[in-house]
Chains A and B, each alone.
Chain A
Amino acid sequence: MTAPAKPADAVRDASPGRAGAIADGVVRSVGPIVLAFLFCGLLLLLLGRDPLAFYGNIVTAGVLRPSGLQDSITRMAPVLLIAAGLVIVFRANLWNLGTDGQFLFAAAMVAGLGPIVLAVVPGPIGWLFLMAVAMAVGAMWTVIPALLKARYGINEIITTMMMTFIGVGVANLLVKGPFKGTTMVPQTAVVPKALMLTDIPGTSIHIGVFVALAVVVIVHLALTRTSFGTRLDVLGANPRAAVHLGIDVQRLTVTAFALSGALIGLAAAVDILGIFGYMRADWNPAYGLKVVPIVFLARLNALAIVPFAIFFSIVSIGGEYAARQASLPSDFILYVVGLILIFMVITQYLSDKRARGERILPRRAAKAAADV
């Protein structure tokens, strides 16, 4: 009943039923990906590479090889958690663009404290403690911009981004300073593999993936079935109505930001405890900018994040291999992500236009098509 407040949705109300809406959603979400791949294929041709081989390698390395598939699945965990964190604020039309700072600060804390804590309390209690620390750090790093936004209306886009610079800096100071391990390279001590998050027997998929999936489901339920979710939707759709309706906008803003930061912190804990076991100085996976498009492709629906996160993981795991094989820089895969974003905007525009009952093609082209 209260679908996310998208102006595009509001236009087509008379369109029949749920099935139509889902089909439309699939077209809007998958269309851009297909277009981006076509366009990238052209680019590869221009560069003298075989696009089919390139995409084939992505599939081979990302899905078909058992180790690739497992890597793809484990890569999903932080992506899912960050996306869940971002959905919460984005639905309220609040912009947490400080993912990287929150993530790295929390990661540094976990990597620094992990070896010490897990040596004393290994197992679930130690993990939970470290996750709690990470969540607290992530939340803390969003609360400052949140309070500035809630109390003084200061633009959170700027403040969260600025907090990222500081967060990244603090993380590096920690890794190079108090948390520096005994090695020559600036990095933290390493959590022994045995103390890291348990893998599913026979695979390299750690249990953090399940934590992430559970969190996504919980976030989805909270957003669609609770009064908290309704309040966020109201704030997102019409902030003045939120005031008129008696929603405590300041508290809601701070809560949403804190939850968002906490989940991003949790993503860091899962990544460090599940995959890396330590943190190098200047390490930055820059999830922030990569996850934002996923959240929008999923149209701010937490459950819809899952397929996109899988897809993203496959493309990044498989893409690294494919780029290497095609002797292209591994950054090439970022072009694909960028193109998906651009085509997403175009698809959205065309689809809105269609919903208004206008021609998608220019007049002359439509006429030519009709004449055929």
Chain B
Amino acid sequence: MDGSGPGITSDVGSPALPFAPTGSATAGGSIPAVELIGITKVFPGVIANDHINLAVMPGEVLCLLGENGAGKSTLMSILSGLYRPDEGHIRVAGKDVVIDSPRRGRDLGVGMVYQHLSLIPTLTVLENLMLGTNPGLVLKEKLARVHLEELAKTLGVAVDADAQTGSLSLGQQQHIEIIKALWKGSKVLILDEPTSMLTPQGIAELQSVLVQLKASGLAIIFITHKLHEAVAIGDRIAILRQGKVVGEIGPDVVHSLSPSQLQQRIVATMFGDEAASVADVAELRSDLGRKQATHTFSEAPLLELMDVSAPGVRGQYGISNLSLAVRGGEILGIAGVDGNGQRALAEVIAGQRKASAGEIRLAGSVINHLAVSARQRLGLRYVTDDRLGEGVVRPFAVSMNLVLKRIGDAPFWRRGAIDRTAINATARELIMQFDIRTPTEGTRIGKLSGGNIQKALLARELSFEPKVVVFNKPTHGLDVRTIAMVRERIREMAARGVATIVISTDLDELIDLSDRVAVLFEGQIAGVVENGPGAETRIGELIVGAQAA
């Protein structure tokens, strides 16, 4: 297995990499590009990082794997200068350094790409790059242009310097983020969950970019909670759990195991005794099982859209003349590349966006004129994908967030006056029922991890007798166990006769859950595919815009 480099091709659907790593040779004898020694960071009530030791060599990808709340992001915030560690120190290229601000971090050659893009959409690519990096007062545009070209070449991508940033795809915007992180000659590049908002194609592109960068001698820290990504691109894999490094797999081992062996090894390290309980999660399997229809659907559709149109916002597609129907007990998957009208579809159903034409029917009656709250009361629920942006009110307590869709309704408000006892009682019940991990029901919801926030949203939407539920990217950015739990809830709901729509950009997920999959392309349904053998291929064709047969 040595030398040739084991096939790094993953059998969970990641594309083959055009670059075979050179095994243990990479690390041989050189000084780590960056070294974290005994890093500890305590927040009130939590030890986010507990004496963490990590090192990454030049030309190496360190995958930091861990569930939400394991301390990955805190650690990287310390490395990039956003937080100061309580204990421990950092070495860059063998020298002790104090990184007390992101600027200092950049000057030391630590570049960071955050999970959420930080570019200004109305500026051009070049303007975004010069922002904050331009020396002096006068914009040195020509220099910047040349520099951009060089970096684009290093990444192996083509970049239009004058394109308006907001008009680029998320994948392209991420390339710009990477270029920005490398702008001042970084030696270490940190990517925080970089694939969480990309399409499968974007992920493939990112992977080839990383291979290019690795070859140029950059040290890369890749934070992820997706196992197959770690397997596909990591040279060294560190597993974080509850603030501690619970396992580290060095390049020798990584490159000597087959992907499936490596995967098993990571699962065993991550979950220990619980490994068996997560074995069935799609993210951890290499052969995707297909949903077995075990229940029957209602005859009449519970939700119907007839020739519905709605405008798009901020350059995204709206929907035009879209028709679909979901029966009780059925799960309809909506596939498609992000930005093809998914949000418009979800919001039109939920009532957040007005339909400009067409008819929406809930259990047979037209609901076009009804506002969000009226639809909610009729049992139409929407689990938004923008959990922090619109799903929760972060400074509010968990309990309050759980009843926010019922403001003013009994038993939580009686004749206008709030009844906190009733709210807290219901909240405690939902917290138990949905296994929301929170210190108390009075904790501000913004303090919970992404997975627990999603559980809270599910609790809010799936309680009080739902009839139709729209899930928008329900497992996006969650850890495996929460993913398993969310999918189980979706199946449970359907089994109880709820008409379910699952919008997702993750094809594996749709195949795993749906009875039928409709593909959204440029705001219209490009085709509907019954889930069955060969469905993936057909859906894949429709996703990229092939005409329905």
- A interface vs B, CB < 8 Å? 1-3, 5-7, 9-10, 12-15, 225-231, 233-234, 237-238, 240-241, 243-248, 357-358
In the complex, besides A14-B44, A225-B418, A238-B392, 7 extra interface pairs with C-beta distance below 8 angstroms are A1-B399, A1-B400, A5-B395, A7-B395, A225-B417, A238-B394, A246-B376
Contacts A1-B442, A246-B372: A358 and B84 contacting too (C-beta < 8 A)? yes
Q: A233–B394 Cα gap in the complex (Å)?
A: 11
Q: Residues of A contacting B394 with CB < 8 Å?
A: 10, 237-238
Closest to A237 in B: B393
Q: A3–B391 Cα gap in the complex (Å)?
A: 19
Asked if A227 and B390 sit within 8 Å, CB to CB, the answer is no
Asked if A241 and B407 sit within 8 Å, CB to CB, the answer is no
15 A–B contacts, CB within 8 A, in A order: A1-B399, A2-B400, A10-B394, A10-B447, A14-B45, A227-B408, A230-B407, A230-B418, A231-B407, A233-B393, A237-B394, A237-B395, A244-B350, A246-B372, A246-B405
CB distance from A319 to the nearest CB of B (A): 37
Asked if A241 and B391 sit within 8 Å, CB to CB, the answer is yes
Q: Say yes or no: is B123 at the interface (Cβ < 8 Å to chain A).
A: no
B415-440 vs A: 1/0 string, CB under 8 Å?
Answer: 01110100100000000000000000
Q: A9–B374 Cα gap in the complex (Å)?
A: 33
Among A3, A228, A241, A358, point to the contact of B392 (Cβ < 8 A): A241
CB distance from A284 to the nearest CB of B (A): 37
Q: Residues of A contacting B199 with CB < 8 Å?
A: none
CB distance from A296 to the nearest CB of B (A): 17
Q: Say yes or no: is B278 at the interface (Cβ < 8 Å to chain A).
A: no
Among A13, A233, A241, A247, point to the contact of B447 (Cβ < 8 A): A13
CB distance from A232 to the nearest CB of B (A): 11
Q: Residues of B contacting A230 with CB < 8 Å?
A: 400, 404, 407, 418
Asked if B397 and A2 sit within 8 Å, CB to CB, the answer is yes
Q: Residues of B contacting A13 with CB < 8 Å?
A: 44, 443-444, 447
Closest to B416 in A: A226
Q: Residues of B contacting A231 with CB < 8 Å?
A: 407-408
Asked if B404 and A228 sit within 8 Å, CB to CB, the answer is no
Asked if A246 and B373 sit within 8 Å, CB to CB, the answer is yes
Asked if A1 and B397 sit within 8 Å, CB to CB, the answer is yes
Closest to A359 in B: B84
Q: Say yes or no: is B247 at the interface (Cβ < 8 Å to chain A).
A: no
Among B371, B390, B408, point to the contact of A241 (Cβ < 8 A): B390
Asked if A240 and B376 sit within 8 Å, CB to CB, the answer is no
Asked if A227 and B405 sit within 8 Å, CB to CB, the answer is no
Asked if B44 and A244 sit within 8 Å, CB to CB, the answer is no
Q: Residues of A contacting B405 with CB < 8 Å?
A: 245-246
Q: Say yes or no: is B352 at the interface (Cβ < 8 Å to chain A).
A: yes
Q: Residues of A contacting B418 with CB < 8 Å?
A: 225-227, 229-230
B433-466 vs A: 1/0 string, CB under 8 Å?
Answer: 0000000001110110000000000000000000
Asked if B390 and A243 sit within 8 Å, CB to CB, the answer is yes
Q: Say yes or no: is B263 at the interface (Cβ < 8 Å to chain A).
A: no
Total contacting residues, chain B, CB less than 8 A: 42
Among A10, A227, A234, A238, point to the contact of B444 (Cβ < 8 A): A10
Interface of chain B residues 364 through 400 with chain A (CB within 8 A)? 371-376, 382, 384, 386, 389-397, 399-400
Q: A6–B396 Cα gap in the complex (Å)?
A: 10
Asked if B371 and A5 sit within 8 Å, CB to CB, the answer is no
Interface-central residue, A2, A9, A248, by most chain B CB under 10 Å: A2
Contacts A10-B446, A357-B43: A233 and B396 contacting too (C-beta < 8 A)? yes
Closest to B397 in A: A1
Q: Residues of B contacting A7 with CB < 8 Å?
A: 395
Q: Residues of A contacting B444 with CB < 8 Å?
A: 10, 13
Asked if B397 and A226 sit within 8 Å, CB to CB, the answer is no
Interface-central residue, A5, A15, A225, A230, by most chain B CB under 10 Å: A230
Q: Residues of B contacting A244 with CB < 8 Å?
A: 350, 352, 372, 382, 384, 390-391
Asked if B404 and A245 sit within 8 Å, CB to CB, the answer is yes
Interface of chain B residues 15 through 48 with chain A (CB within 8 A)? 43-45
Contacts A226-B418, A227-B416: A238 and B447 contacting too (C-beta < 8 A)? no
- B interface vs A, CB < 8 Å? 43-45, 84, 350-352, 371-376, 382, 384, 386, 389-397, 399-400, 404-405, 407-408, 413, 416-418, 420, 423, 442-444, 446-447
Q: Residues of A contacting B45 with CB < 8 Å?
A: 14
Asked if A357 and B390 sit within 8 Å, CB to CB, the answer is no
Q: A98–B447 Cα gap in the complex (Å)?
A: 37
CB distance from B42 to the nearest CB of A (A): 8
Q: Residues of A contacting B384 with CB < 8 Å?
A: 244
CB distance from A281 to the nearest CB of B (A): 44
Asked if B44 and A6 sit within 8 Å, CB to CB, the answer is no
Asked if B44 and A357 sit within 8 Å, CB to CB, the answer is yes
Q: A247–B373 Cα gap in the complex (Å)?
A: 7
Q: Residues of A contacting B391 with CB < 8 Å?
A: 241, 244
Asked if B390 and A1 sit within 8 Å, CB to CB, the answer is no
Closest to B423 in A: A1
Asked if A10 and B395 sit within 8 Å, CB to CB, the answer is yes
Q: A2–B443 Cα gap in the complex (Å)?
A: 10
Asked if B395 and A228 sit within 8 Å, CB to CB, the answer is no
Q: Residues of B contacting A5 with CB < 8 Å?
A: 393, 395-396
Among A237, A238, A248, A357, point to the contact of B371 (Cβ < 8 A): A248
Q: A227–B242 Cα gap in the complex (Å)?
A: 39
Q: A231–B418 Cα gap in the complex (Å)?
A: 12
Among B44, B390, B407, B442, point to the contact of A12 (Cβ < 8 A): B44
Interface-central residue, A12, A13, A248, by most chain B CB under 10 Å: A13
Asked if A238 and B417 sit within 8 Å, CB to CB, the answer is no
Q: A188–B45 Cα gap in the complex (Å)?
A: 64
Among A12, A14, A241, A357, point to the contact of B393 (Cβ < 8 A): A241
8 cross-chain pairs, A with B, having the tightest CB-CB distances, nearest first: A246-B372, A14-B44, A246-B373, A227-B408, A244-B390, A240-B390, A14-B45, A10-B395
Asked if A238 and B404 sit within 8 Å, CB to CB, the answer is no
Q: A247–B376 Cα gap in the complex (Å)?
A: 12
Asked if A237 and B396 sit within 8 Å, CB to CB, the answer is yes
Q: Residues of A contacting B443 with CB < 8 Å?
A: 13
Q: A246–B405 Cα gap in the complex (Å)?
A: 7
Q: Residues of B contacting A240 with CB < 8 Å?
A: 386, 389-390
Q: Residues of B contacting A245 with CB < 8 Å?
A: 372-373, 404-405, 407
Q: A229–B397 Cα gap in the complex (Å)?
A: 15
Asked if B390 and A228 sit within 8 Å, CB to CB, the answer is no
Interface-central residue, B43, B374, B408, B420, by most chain A CB under 10 Å: B408
Closest to A4 in B: B395
Q: A226–B416 Cα gap in the complex (Å)?
A: 5
Asked if B416 and A246 sit within 8 Å, CB to CB, the answer is no
Asked if A2 and B389 sit within 8 Å, CB to CB, the answer is no
Contacts A1-B400, A225-B417, A358-B84: A9 and B395 contacting too (C-beta < 8 A)? yes
Q: Residues of B contacting A14 with CB < 8 Å?
A: 43-45
Closest to B382 in A: A244
Q: Residues of B contacting A3 with CB < 8 Å?
A: 395
Asked if A226 and B390 sit within 8 Å, CB to CB, the answer is no
